[in-house]
Amino acid sequence: FCEICWDKQPAHKPKKRGADGYGHERIDKLVVERYRSILEPSSNAEEQETLHREDEDTTWFGIGRDHADEPVFEDYGRFAALMQDSLSKPGAVRHPQLVSFIGQTGAGKSTVVKMLINHQDLKTNQTLRSRFPAPLPGSVNDNVPVSANVHLYADPDSYLSDTPILYADCEGLEGGEGIPRAEAYRFQDGAVMPHAQRKDSDIRSRKKLHRNGNRVSRNLKWAHGDKEKSKREYAVTELYPKLLYTFSDVVVFVLRNPKTFESAVLTKLVGWASASFEKSLGQPALPHIIIALNATDLAIDASQWDVKEATNKLLSSVETAINTIPALQDHVAWWRANGRVIHTTKDLLECYYSSVTV
């Protein structure tokens, strides 16, 4: 609405509240259109296929199969390409920071990353299309992952700085052995978008990786002959999170239902961290952990929108979990044997993470 029409709307008058109890706010039309395109993506099959093919070039690493159908670790060169493409001056010393998004399939990891990228890009790009590649959001509560493996994206605000922030988007944990939607498109004919059809006016189309041309494969000998470890599900639920824990500055676990935190999330966070903590060498600092409660009901107590309050509430709800969950008791016993004082679940988490935030 324009200024005159806005003031005529009953809910928009001073001190009036909407049906949800909150006052209405005027929002820039471009912002609305940007976020609507994220939260209400096109269902056109042809458009979806085009977007999935474009997104192939953002793949960082994943698991493939060799000629003998044994699992191999594949690095697509995405990290090196981003760092080279954003280099502002030759020989500059840069310190990239990695924020990794992990979580349940359909919880909204990709949507959160896409909104972060779009929000930063809007500061200098007043068009509907973002100049920076971003993940493809999936449907709510969809059990099939949208993208396969781990993808890497640049934060627009820090891309050209000495400390660029990179977002890693990990495949959803509940996908099982099913083929993600992006892989289904790729397996149809293995084609990629011709270079002639790509515009060079933005960062999205510059220096495409062409996955097959820049792929470096490494044998996973520890998985050969092991039926469970050679499965795609093992890579997604164990290998990827452990690798990301080791190299991340921040780990963001996204979930939609906070009531599942104790039963479905807590042991994972401790288990991944413990395995990485014990096996890695030269890790300079522990990552921070952020628990992102996505799609929260607006009817919750307003105090829960405060980060400190939300953190205290969730951690209080699992305070005694270390006394009831056997898997956590083993970790507690190990730390206590090594002189660490642990009374609550928060104490245990802080053995593996620099901080815990909700």
pLDDT at 202 over 80: no
The average pLDDT across 217-244 equals 90
Question: Average model confidence (pLDDT) for the chain?
Answer: 83
Do 322 and 335 contact (CB within 8 A), yes or no? no
Which tens digit of pLDDT belongs to each residue from 29-85? Answer: 878 887 888 888 777 777 777 777 778 889 999 998 888 888 899 999 999 999 988
Q: How does DSSP classify residue 156? A: T
| DSSP labels, 219-273 | E-GGGTT-TTTTSHHHIIIIIHHHHHHHH-SEEEEEES-GGGIIIIIHHHHHHHH
Please state the separation of Cα 145 from the chain's center in Å: 13
Assigned token pair, 154: 């640049």
Neighbours of 262 (CB within 10 A): 18
Tell me what percent of the residues of the chain surpass a pLDDT of 90. 42
92-101, 119-128, 248-257, 296-305: range with lowest mean pLDDT: 119-128
The average pLDDT across 9-27 equals 73
Residue 28: φ, ψ to 5°: -55, 135
pLDDT at 192 over 50: no
> Can you give the pLDDT at residue 28?
79
How many residues appear in the chain?
A: 358
Tell me what percent of the residues of the chain surpass a pLDDT of 70. 84
pLDDT at 10 over 80: no
pLDDT at 201 over 50: no
Do 63 and 235 contact (CB within 8 A), yes or no? yes
16-30, 55-69, 197-211: range with lowest mean pLDDT: 197-211
pLDDT at 208 over 60: no
pLDDT at 195 over 50: no
> Can you give the pLDDT at residue 188?
54
Q: 254 - beta bridge partners?
A: 103, 292
What confidence tier does 224 reach under pLDDT thresholds 50, 70, 90? confident
Assigned token pair, 219: 């044998």
Give the range with max mean pLDDT: 15-29, 197-211, 304-318. 304-318
> Can you give the pLDDT at residue 177?
64
> Can you give the pLDDT at residue 184?
56
Higher pLDDT, residue 115 or 3: 115
Q: How does DSSP classify residue 205? A: G
